[in-house]
Amino acid sequence: MLTAVLDTLFLFALIAPIVGILSPRERSHLVSGSVALIGLLAAAVFLTNFLSRVFAKPIEVPLGAGLVNAVLVVDIPGLFIGFLAVSIGILVVLYSLKFMERDSGTPFYFGLLTLMVAGMVGVGFAGDLFTLFVFWELMCISSYVLVGFRTQVKESVEAAVKYIVMSAAGSATALFGMSMLYGLTGTLNLVGLASALASAKGGFWLYAALAMLITGFGVKAAIVPLHTWLPDAYTAAPSPVSTILAGASTELAVFVVVKLLFFVFPALRGSWVMFFATFSVLNMLLGNVVGLLQNDVKRILAYSSIAHIGYIFIGVAAGTQLGLTGALLHIFNHGLLKALAFLCIGAIIYRLGARTLDDIAGIGRKMPVTASLFILAILGLIGMPPLNGFISKLVLFTSSLDAGMLWLGVLLVIFSAVSTGYYLRILKALIAPPSGRVSEAREAPALLLIPMIVLAFLVILFGVWPDPLLSFAKSSSSWLMEVGRYA
Amino acid sequence: MISYSIYLAGAAVLYLTGIYALITKRNLIRLIMGIEMLVNAAHINFIALASYWRPGFVDPLATAIVTVSIGVAGCIGAVFLAFAIYAYKHYGTLDVRRMRELRG
């Protein structure tokens, strides 16, 4: 009904908790987790199936019937973000099998995780703003519950409350923006909107609608004045949930902002380019400077996420196809790198129960594999040449030169250098001599290591052989830039 | 017939009231009321604009959106209230100013 991918995800999101509840309590997390894992793997297979069929022409899947014109459009950009969401979902479920073993209510946890992935894939596939909104809310609501999943932990509940207030206000603002756009054009179909606004001259209402949409989706994308929920939610959520939030959900929000700007509002490019140059600088400045002051590794990584969203906006500010390619590429690469970093700190938390720099000092001697993978992720986030973070930063830098915004490219380099400050603090903590509780720690269990090794493999692979990902991002950006091809 | 601008102005006022509530109020229950106001402002906008494009024809798309969105808003409200209960258990108050475990 909703394409094979989404059907599978929904089906398994329902089956996973039911099977988990029916099985013996001590094994419920393994049973429901394996069911969710099977569903996600099947979804990945179906996504790969789509890949060959979609290159020539996007597939339109009408939902429901008659006058309500809701539609899913499976296209290259949608698959691009769908692959990110599903692959991170698979690894997070695999990781959670071990990580969440001591928690209660895990059957629901796996169901919600699968639903969240379904929401993300649906947002990527949505062909009109209404469908996009519904899947967006599916992702948001399941992520609210996942952030506050450990209800017995005080900070977890507090972070969830902050997150819900900001994010729900953002969603409502986006809905208000959609209603204004609907009033201006009479349609919510993305292709229809794009052709209706192709020659738009601007005007107060159109700018207001754009501003509300960007504000609404920008809350999840952590555009700087709206970022305050992010460090709290990333820190207080269980590590696998932080991983999927940082690696897929926030990236998806940036993707939605980018898609709206380049696909629906290209006519107003002259005005949003300068705004996004400003946001980019603000994000880089705040993320990197406040990141230096943190002592909690998860908070450092959260602020580094804010900074990286600033790097992505450099591509948006360039406003060219190269810029869009760089932005999409960095969305994907940053998703992989940040997911790897959060999984590594999660493994340390699993063994040690601590996450401040002082408490984990010396863990590298006791958990050598985890620490090496963590160092790999950190080097990738800095942008070291053989890793994938370098490739996308290079494309972003080139795009800023190309668009005549040398100063943005220079700021990218400068802030990357500044960010090295806090990444090196993590590095130093990892390789310091162990003491106290750290000296009793052991290497993380295999089930935690497997997803990390897979991600590390991808990070290196897309660093030394970026061509497939680059051409994928390139064709995504060409689809997003040329609306006429959808007709 | 009343012109559209009255409905749209009403929606805008409702939206601003919701934003005001979110900024100034400190009680969790009032915050969820503010969020519901924002959502309902968008709903009023949709319904008012549904009959704007073709006289004598009401676009069913807007009604469908509002119906689904009311359900979604209900879900958000339920999740929020559930967390409000947990917050009350942990902190003994619904005042968000008292919730200060996380900062930085």
Query: B70-84: per-residue pLDDT in tens?
Result: 999 999 999 999 999
Looking at residue A68, what is its pLDDT? Answer: 65
CB contact under 8 A, B59 and A183: no
- Select the residue from A146, A157, A289 to test the B interface by mutation, using most B Cβ atoms within 10 A: A157
Q: Which residues in chain B touch residue A173, judged by CB atoms under 8 angstroms apart? A: 38
Determine the residue among A129, A149, A176, A212 to mutate to test chain B binding: the one whose Cβ has the most chain B Cβ atoms within 10 Å: A176
A172–B18 C-beta distance less than 8 A: yes
Q: Alpha-carbon distance A81 to A124, whole Å? A: 6
Q: What is the three-state SS of chain A?
A: CCHHHHHHHHHHHHHHHHHHHHCCHHHHHHHHHHHHHHHHHHHHHHHHHHHHHHCCCCEEEECCCCCCCCEEEECHHHHHHHHHHHHHHHHHHHHHHHHCCCCCCHHHHHHHHHHHHHHHHHHHHECEHHHHHHHHHHHHHHHHHHHCCCCCCHHHHHHHHHHHHHHHHHHHHHHHHHHHHHHHHCCCEHHHHHHHCCCCCCCHHHHHHHHHHHHHHHHHHCCHHHCCHHHHHHHHCCHHHHHHHHHHHHHHHHHHHHHHHHHHCHHHHHHHHHHHHHHHHHHHHHHHHHHHHCCEHHHHHHHHHHHHHHHHHHHHHHCCHHHHHHHHHHHHHHHHHHHHHHHHHHHHHHHHCCCECCCCCCHHHHCHHHHHHHHHHHHHHHCCCCCHHHHHHHHHHHHHHHCCCHHHHHHHHHHHHHHHHHHHHHHHHHHCCCCHHHHHCCCCCHHHHHHHHHHHHHHHHHHHCCHHHHHHHHHHHHHHHCHHHHC
With CB atoms and an 8 Å threshold, state whether A183 touches B68.
no
Residue to substitute from B20, B29, B54, B61, interface A, most A β-carbons within 10 A: B61
The closest of A24, A302, A25 to A163, measured between CA atoms, is A302
Determine which of A225-229, A302-306, A432-436, A462-466 has the lowest per-residue pLDDT on average. A432-436
| pLDDT band at A394; cut points 50, 70, 90 | very high
> B22, A69: Cβ pair inside 8 Å?
no
Mutate to test the interface with A, among B79, B81, B94, B98 (most CBs of A within 10 A): B79
Chains A–B, number of C-beta pairs less than 8 Å apart: 122
Residues of A in contact with B87 (CB under 8 A): 157-158, 161
Task: Kindly determine whether residue B104 and residue A299, on different chains, have CB atoms separated by under 8 Å.
Answer: yes
Across chain A, mean pLDDT equals: 90
* B81 part of contact set with chain A, CB < 8 Å: no
pLDDT given at position A59:
84
A:406-465 residues touching chain B, CB 8 A cutoff: none
Q: Which residue of B has its CA nearest to A148?
A: B83
- Residue to substitute from B72, B75, B100, interface A, most A β-carbons within 10 A: B72
- Mind telling me how many Å the CA of B2 is from chain A's nearest CA? 17
d(CA B41, CA A296): 40
Cross-chain residue pair B87–A161, CB shorter than 8 Å: yes
Query: Which residues of B are less than 8 Å from A165 in CB distance?
Result: 22, 31, 35, 80
Q: Do B83 and A148 touch (CB under 8 A)?
A: yes
Give the residue from chain A lying closest to B18, CA to CA: A169
State pLDDT tens for residues A2-58. Answer: 788 899 999 999 999 999 999 988 888 999 999 999 999 999 999 998 888 887 788
Query: pLDDT by residue (tens digit) across B24-71?
Result: 988 999 999 999 999 999 999 999 888 887 777 888 888 888 999 999
Residue A192's pLDDT is what?
87
- Interchain pair B80, A186: CB under 8 A: no
Do residue A157 and residue B90 have CB atoms under 8 angstroms apart?
A: yes
pLDDT at B100: 73
Per-residue model confidence (pLDDT) at position A65? 56
Q: Say what the pLDDT of residue A39 is.
A: 95
Q: Which residues of chain A make contact with B46, given a CB cutoff of 8 A? A: 179, 182
The proportion of chain A whose per-residue pLDDT surpasses 90, expressed as a percent, equals 64
Q: What dihedral do alpha carbons A63, A108, A155, A232 form, nearest 10°?
A: -30
Tell me if B96 and A161 make a contact (CB, 8 A cut-off): yes
pTM: 0.94
CA atoms of B74 and A19, how far apart (whole Å): 27
Q: How confident is the model at residue A91 (pLDDT cuts 50, 70, 90)?
A: very high
pLDDT at A115: 94
Of B15, B60, B99, the CB nearest to A176: B15
Mean pLDDT for A363-370 is 89
Is A145 touching B (CB cutoff 8 A)? yes
Please tell me the predicted confidence (pLDDT) of residue B103: 61
The yes-or-no verdict on residue B4 having pLDDT over 80 is: no
Using pLDDT thresholds of 50, 70 and 90, give the confidence band for residue A268: confident
CA A251 to chain centre: 3
A110-145 per-position pLDDT tens digit? 999 999 999 999 999 998 898 999 999 999 999 999
Q: What percent of chain B has pLDDT over 70?
A: 94
Instruction: Select the residue of B41, B59, B90 nearest A176 (Cβ to Cβ).
Output: B41
What whole-number distance in Å separates Cα of residue A82 and Cα of residue A118? 9
Decide: helix, strand or coil at residue B95: strand
Interface of A with B in 43-72 (CB under 8 A): 66-70
* Distance from the B99 Cα atom to the nearest Cα atom in chain A, whole angstroms: 6
- The interface predicted TM-score of the complex, written ipTM, equals 0.95
B21 to chain A nearest CA, in Å?
11
Say what percent of chain A tops pLDDT 70: 99
For A147-175, write each residue's pLDDT tens digit.
999 999 888 999 999 999 999 999 999 99
Residue B104 clears pLDDT 50, i.e. is over it? no
Chain A contact for B21 (CB, 8 A cutoff): no
Residues on chain A touching B67 (C-beta within 8 angstroms): none
